[in-house]
Amino acid sequence: MRPPIMRRVFRRVASTAVSAMLALLAAQPVSASAAPTATAAAGLQQVTGFGSNPGGLQMFAYTPATVPAGAPLVVALHGCTQSAGAYHSSSGWAQYADLWGFDVVYPQTTSANNPLSCFGWFDPAEDTRGRGEAASVVQMVEYAKRTYGSDGRRVYVTGLSAGGGMTADLLAAYPDVFAGGSVASGLPAQCATSQAAASGCQTGPQALSPSQWGDKVRGSHPGWTGPWPRVAIWQGTSDYTVRPANATALRDQWTDVWGIGQTPSRTDSLPGNTARAVYEDASGRPAVETYTVSGMGHGLPVDLGSGAGQCGATAAYFLDTICSTYHTGVFWGLDRDAPGGGDGLPAPSGLKVTGVTASSASLAWDTVGGAASYAVYRDGAKVASATSPSFTDTGLRAGTSYRYTVAAADSSGAAGASSPAVTATTPGGTAPAACFTATNYAHVAAGRARTSGGRVQANGSGQDMGLYNVFVTHTLRESPAGYFVIADSGCQAGSS
């Protein structure tokens, strides 16, 4: 039996101004003094004695009875004023833990650490390697590996807002612990190193180059040269609490760490007015993905419903748009839909799109020896079991991109490794363009453009817009969602 959690020997007291700033990061309000219990959400249990706990955190865990040893582990970090129970209830991680088979750990901070129960993503005493809250989270991971038999090669961390900022710091400080991460409405790693600097990060991080952002990661664990975590970045275009420029900085930071540049390998459209950009590593596997939710404010994207790709519950700062948990899990390979994932038969090769209509997509691939059938996945969800190496998917939406993978199944129906993904885009159904006229500074703040070396580039097209200031003005045309081009000479069928 390990010793009980030690109480913190001091309480950080924030000024009124800093408290107001932190309130902007607050997610679903709960009583800051309310003690969490094991009944906060079904199946959620508090764990004590997980380590020396230098950060004074509380540990909660969801461990489905059907999950065997050797399963992945997800660490999920709440936002300010939230609790582990609130995040467990609304984020959708418990649903996919049951469906896909993994354990979830929910670290929880308290008002003893911060007046609004925010994780200390801006405090070097809390968010750096071997110190404070970051070290406590890693002790929880070690406890899960010992107690639940979690696979140390498949540990992932995700977080919302202040929890997202801490997620980025954990990925930077502990790339040897976390195989991947997901930052929702969060901040780039080591954006701020004091409470005073935190507000500036929220409203718009420093105009650093990708290599300067990448250096903040490399400096968090000097001497580490890889492998690096695979990172998903979620951001609403109408988030005025943590501005969209932070998502651009996160993208610049992690693509630079991976050494893959800032031009996406491919882009596509997802439900909920979401644009996805995929940045692949040298082997063709997604290393960084950005998910830009048009019109969404500050919060974690969820999607009410019973479909395979739907999850969560709406509440303050849990916003009904798209199930970010589902797509993050697919990106990490938790659903076995990832190149090289799965067991048994090898992945089919040669998957290609052979034709599309406004409502269908036809696929073909090479035969796999020993395969009795083939499982076809659309955006991570199985849609068919084909008996031959071809399939036509019907009932699709016009003007929409879909991602497909295929896995060979044996006579028992057990599917093996999944193929690399291909994207099919149905014609028609083009949404009208939206036009925005603003200064370069305002375009960056709104998430329509990004900074690079003191200059501004349009998101999507990468067109150069000139200096990053309030004196240069451009009109940007958005079509499809998240893809902007300069349209100073006129923009038709737009708005704004």
CA 17/CA 24 separation, integer angstroms: 11
CA 212/CA 218 separation, integer angstroms: 10
What pLDDT, on a 0 to 100 scale, did the predictor assign at position 432?
Answer: 57
What pLDDT, on a 0 to 100 scale, did the predictor assign at position 15?
Answer: 38
Best CA proximity match to 378, nearest among 328, 422, 430 = 422
Peptide bond into 264 cis (omega under 30): no
Neighbouring residues of 479: CB distance < 8 A, sequence distance ≥ 6: 430, 431, 432, 433, 434
Q: Which amino acid is at 95?
A: Q
Beta strands in 36-123 (DSSP E): 45-47, 58-62, 73-77, 103-108
Cα-Cα-Cα-Cα dihedral sign, residues 484, 487, 488, 494: negative
Best CA proximity match to 141, nearest among 131, 132, 153, 126 = 153
Radius of gyration of the chain (CA): 22
CA 433/CA 427 separation, integer angstroms: 16
346-366 in b/e form (b: 16+ CB < 10 A) is bbbeebeeeebeebebbbbbe
Best CA proximity match to 62, nearest among 52, 83, 76 = 76
- Structural tokens at position 470: 């309030």
Please report the domains of the chain, with CATH numbers, ordered by start residue: 16-332 (3.40.50.1820), 352-425 (2.60.40.10), 434-486 (no CATH)
Beta strands in 303-359 (DSSP E): 318-320, 352-356
How much is the pTM?
A: 0.67
CA 224/CA 178 separation, integer angstroms: 13
- Contact predicate 271/294, CB 8 Å: no
What pLDDT, on a 0 to 100 scale, did the predictor assign at position 32?
Answer: 30
CA 460/CA 477 separation, integer angstroms: 11
What pLDDT, on a 0 to 100 scale, did the predictor assign at position 479?
Answer: 76
CA 426/CA 356 separation, integer angstroms: 6
| Residue 49: how many other CB atoms lie within 10 Å | 12
Best CA proximity match to 185, nearest among 313, 327, 318, 286 = 318
Q: Measuring CA to CA, how many Å separate 237 from each of 108, 467, 479?
A: 28, 22, 14
Cα-Cα-Cα-Cα dihedral sign, residues 144, 150, 153, 157: negative
Residues marked as catalytic:
161
- Reading the chain (496 residues) residue by residue, the pLDDT tens digits are 222 222 222 223 333 333 434 444 433 333 332 322 223 346 899 999 999 999 999 999 999 988 888 999 999 999 998 999 999 999 999 999 999 999 999 999 988 998 888 999 999 999 999 999 999 999 999 999 999 999 999 999 999 999 999 999 999 999 999 999 999 999 999 999 998 899 899 988 888 999 999 999 999 999 999 999 999 999 999 999 999 999 999 999 999 999 999 999 999 999 999 999 999 998 888 999 999 999 999 999 999 998 878 999 999 899 999 999 999 998 998 986 333 344 457 889 999 999 999 899 999 999 998 888 998 988 767 889 999 999 999 999 888 888 888 988 877 676 777 787 888 888 886 555 688 888 888 888 788 888 877 788 888 888 889 888 878 889 888 877 778 888 887 775 433 3
- Structural tokens at position 295: 């019109």
Q: Which amino acid is at 205?
A: P
What pLDDT, on a 0 to 100 scale, did the predictor assign at position 460?
Answer: 83
